[in-house]
Chains A and B, each alone.
Chain A
Amino acid sequence: MAIADTPVLIGKIVEEELRLTLDELSGVCSVERRRIVELVEHGLFDAQNAGDQRFGGDSLRRARLALRLQRDLGVNAAGASLVIELLERIAALEARLR
């Protein structure tokens, strides 16, 4: 299913093979550092290592989701964190129903 004569790109799984610094995470999300710090303060995700603040790759998905919710729905960091927790609970319940 690949196209011939085109190089194959090999990437890394962000969630497992990368640890992002605060600067990298805010850079990837295109926001200022304080917006990420705010999400950490609301417990949306943890820095894995308090010393140099490395974030697990799943933080990327949660951070981007939280920032979208804040931007589009006008909720604050606390509201976005609550929405994400509830969405995850719904997803878990729905998975059990299937």
Chain B
Amino acid sequence: MEFKDYYASMGVPRDATAEQIKQAYRKLARKYHPDVSKEPDAEQRFKEVGEAYEVLRDPQKRAAYDQLGSGPKPGEEFRPPPDWASGFEFRGPAGGDEGFAFEGDPSEFFESLFGRAGFGAAAGARPHRRPDRGEDHHARVVIDLEATLEGATRALTLRVPAMGDDGRPHLRDRTLNVRIPKGIQAGQHIRLAGQGDKPQGEGKPGDLFLEVQFAPHRLYRPEGRDLHLDLPVAPWEVALGATVAVPTPAGSVELKVPAGSKAGSRLRLRGRGLPSEPPGDLYATLQIVLPPSDSEQAREAYRAFSAAVPFNPRAALGA
């Protein structure tokens, strides 16, 4: 098992005061909070910081952790000493004004030291349970855009904590076949009634809520119910006007490009976005693409054009 240096995770010295630890936590939590952060490894770092804070904020856990010293030498396996934590009494999650921060599982290291009972949401964030219903579950799923276009069925794999034979919770994979509702948008939720936890006693099971995100698509960028597409056009198509073929989820359509259109102009195809209720629109953003000048014929045509049409694209710069 890997030893975790909680002081290093939080970037504080081993003799940091409780106030310093709290300040470090606040700063790191803002930096790495997965809902706010743009850091690529935000989620992982946030978990590490949350776990470190869970230990270092609690005087008893911290004192017990400090007894381990700075851990084994690099590469050595860590094992809790046999007399680990004798004389300490852990009372489950430390209360407090804020923090912690975590919907996942503690590391193996944390669990070996404090058990799972020591882990969990702090006071105030303690889940408020309904007695007559099992708990609802939430998960985020990434699906391909085609699934929402067609209302297709997809096998989704979720990681869920479940009680193992040894009486301890483990993560296990749970795969569900889910019909993706046609026209569902990113950020929306699918509710699967009765797919949450079973209740403790009598009553109905909870529901499973899936928050939908789309994997990047080759052509379309979804925005709510609308789709955006970059549409390459030749210079003469925008200069003279043209009718061009545009791909849409429901098949290719003809789009009229008005004469004199500019690069970056957006043309709207009403009702050609996601098949939601009402359907979204498809926006095609014009991108002018120059023909390559890789043949003598093409170069000759460019020369003829520049001779025929005097044009200084930098006139407005005044140079």
Closest to A8 in B: B177
Q: What's the least CB distance linking B23 to chain A, in Å? A: 11
Chain B 1-39 interface mask (CB, 8 Å, partner A; 1/0): 000000000000000000000000010011001011000
Q: Does A93 contact B (CB under 8 A)?
A: no
Closest to A30 in B: B127
B223 to A14, Cβ gap below 8 A? no
B142-157 contacts to A, CB under 8 A, are 152-155
Q: Does A89 contact B (CB under 8 A)?
A: no
Interface 9-mer from B181-189, B288-296, B306-314 = B181-189
Q: What's the least CB distance linking B127 to chain A, in Å? A: 4
Question: Within 8 Å CB of B175, what residues of A?
Answer: 3, 6
Chain A 1-28 interface mask (CB, 8 Å, partner B; 1/0): 1110011111111111010000000111
User: Total interface residues on B, using CB and 8 Å?
Assistant: 54
- Contact of B192 (CB < 8 Å), options: A9, A18, A58: A9
Question: Within 8 Å CB of A54, what residues of B?
Answer: none
- Contact of B209 (CB < 8 Å), options: A60, A65, A69: A60
Closest to B126 in A: A30
Q: A1-B155, A12-B190 are in contact. Are A6 and B29 (CB under 8 A)?
A: no
Q: What's the least CB distance linking B50 to chain A, in Å? A: 8
Question: Within 8 Å CB of A18, what residues of B?
Answer: 191
Closest to B127 in A: A30
B35 to A65, Cβ gap below 8 A? yes
Q: What's the least CB distance linking A5 to chain B, in Å? A: 10
Q: Does A42 contact B (CB under 8 A)?
A: no
- Contact of B136 (CB < 8 Å), options: A7, A10, A27, A74: A27
Question: Within 8 Å CB of A16, what residues of B?
Answer: 188, 276-277
A69 to B35, Cβ gap below 8 A? yes
Closest to A61 in B: B187
Q: What's the least CB distance linking B219 to chain A, in Å? A: 13
A8 to B179, Cβ gap below 8 A? yes
Chain B 189-201 interface mask (CB, 8 Å, partner A; 1/0): 1111101000000
- Contact of A72 (CB < 8 Å), options: B29, B184, B210: B29
Q: Does A50 contact B (CB under 8 A)?
A: no
Question: Within 8 Å CB of B135, what residues of A?
Answer: 30
Chain B 201-241 interface mask (CB, 8 Å, partner A; 1/0): 00000010111000000000101000010000000000000
B177 to A7, Cβ gap below 8 A? yes
Closest to A73 in B: B29
A74 to B184, Cβ gap below 8 A? no
Closest to B121 in A: A71
| 15 additional contacts (CB under 8 A) given A16-B188, A60-B209, A73-B33 | A2-B177, A3-B155, A3-B177, A9-B192, A10-B178, A11-B192, A13-B181, A14-B209, A16-B276, A28-B136, A28-B209, A31-B128, A72-B29, A72-B100, A95-B221
B interface residues with partner A (beta carbon < 8 Å):
26, 29-30, 33, 35-36, 46, 50, 97-101, 121-122, 124-125, 127-130, 133, 135-136, 138, 152-155, 175-179, 181, 184-185, 187-193, 195, 207, 209-211, 221, 223, 228, 276-277
